[in-house]
Chains A and B, each alone.
Chain A
Amino acid sequence: MKYWHIFLAFFIPGIVGYGGGPASIPLVEKEVVDRYHWLTVSDFSEMLAMGNALPGPIATKMAGFIGFEQGGILGAWIAVFATVAPSLILMVILLSILQKHKQSPKVKKMTALIRPTIALLLGAMAVSFFQTSYEGIGVWQSVGLIVVSYLLLERIKLHPAFVILMALGYGALFLS
């Protein structure tokens, strides 16, 4: 029964959470705080703060941790599976169909028509990251980091991994 609840608590945010993991945070909170009372609101926000300080997708970090607390290793597996599997299976099926008809002019046209929309979604995300940065560390730090990382990524063509590691180091030393 407990494992079934763990499955349900993460299955629902997984299939109704549009917009990636961060969009499903309030849905997860609804399940684990309001419905199942596994965590209090303050537990949840503490976990969220921790999760945001660590790298990697947020939805699976939450699922893994809450599942582990409620049902040990098996609980963690079930929670992560419920989060990831349903939409992933759908995705594999849809894209496999698409891939088969790759040469069809309609699929080519579809790809072309979608590009500006994807560009907008990415651009909007970029803007929201800049905004978060401006609110967190102010104009000058933000602009400095933006310019330097742009030069490193696009002019010097450094691998993003190194740029992120350098930013982490800079943050630990100068933004603490």
Chain B
Amino acid sequence: MFQNQWHLCLAFFRVGILGYGGGPSSIPLVQKEVVDTYKWMDEEEFTNLLAVANALPGPIGTKMAGYIGYRVGGFIGLCNAVISTILPTIVAMIILLTFLSSMSEKPWVQGMTKAVVPVVGVMLFVLTIDFLKKAKSGLGWSITVGLFIVSFLFVEVAGLHPAILIGLLILAALFSKNREKERERAS
């Protein structure tokens, strides 16, 4: 119990202080801690978590932290994970802005921020490939590529909000006939 709370605190403290570029850039870090390091949830649950988090409004970093905290340690876990994510950086922000607001002009601070950007890009790219591989093993190449292209057209070309697409896919899954079930039974 105590150990779980301590691990939650550690995991989200690391996510909070290493996630440069706001909540979305911390997604790969959360995945690493939650799926690989502490094994609190499997890949499948993490996918659902990301989908729901993306479909709902509000900051994504704290939505993920809060839910994972809740799953691992109930309401206390929820508070623990959210606070561990945000408190260190809020305190840093208040101190820095109150006492030395010229810091962000310092070239070495700007250099640090710039160097982290491509690294986060790589982490997101790796996660993208991960998801495509997992999708392939469940759906096969043609459906995966098809859905990827449809998503691209929908989100990047038409500029529609991803929440709409995710909502439609959820509905499609809920109202479809259970052909999958029979195939699973057969295999």
Residue numbers of A with Cβ under 8 A of B are 14-22, 24, 46-47, 49-61, 64-65, 68, 76, 80, 83-84, 86-88, 90-92, 94-96, 98-99, 102, 105-127, 129-130, 132-133, 136-137, 142, 145-146, 149-150, 153-154, 159-161, 163-165, 167-168, 170-176
Contact = CB atoms under 8 A, between A and B. Distances in A.
B118 A149 contact: yes
A111 B20 contact: no
A105 B25 CA distance: 32
Contacts, number: 359
A136 B89 CA distance: 24
B103 interface: yes
Interface string B85-119: 11011101110110001011011111111111111
The A interface is mostly helix, strand or loop, or mixed, namely: helix
B118 A87 contact: no
Given A57-B86, A84-B58, A124 B19 contact: no
A172 B81 CA distance: 30
B162 A117 contact: yes
A87 B112 contact: no
B86 to A, nearest CB: 4
Given A115-B47, A176-B107, A57 B59 contact: yes
Residue of A80, A94, A112, A124 contacting most chain B CB atoms (<10 Å): A112
